[in-house]
Amino acid sequence: MIVFNGVKLENIAPVRVVDVTVGQIDLAPQSRQRPVKFGADFVRMSGGTREIDVTLAALTDDINLRQKQLLDVIAWARTDTEGKLELPGYDGLYLQCICTKLPEISLRKWWDGAMTLTFTCFDNPYWTSENEKTGNCGSMITVLGSAPPLMQITRTLSSSASNQTYACGTESMTFSTIPAGDLTIDLNRQTAVVGNTNIMQYFTFNSSFITPKPGQFTITGNGTIKWRERWQ
Q: Alpha-carbon distance 138 to 85, whole Å?
A: 35
- Tell me what pLDDT residue 143 has: 98
* Tens of pLDDT, residues 113-152: 678 999 999 989 999 999 999 999 999 999 999 999 999 9
* Tens of pLDDT, residues 186-214: 999 999 999 999 999 999 999 999 999 99
pLDDT greater at residue 21 or residue 63:
21
* Tens of pLDDT, residues 70-115: 889 999 999 999 999 999 999 999 999 999 999 877 666 656 667 8
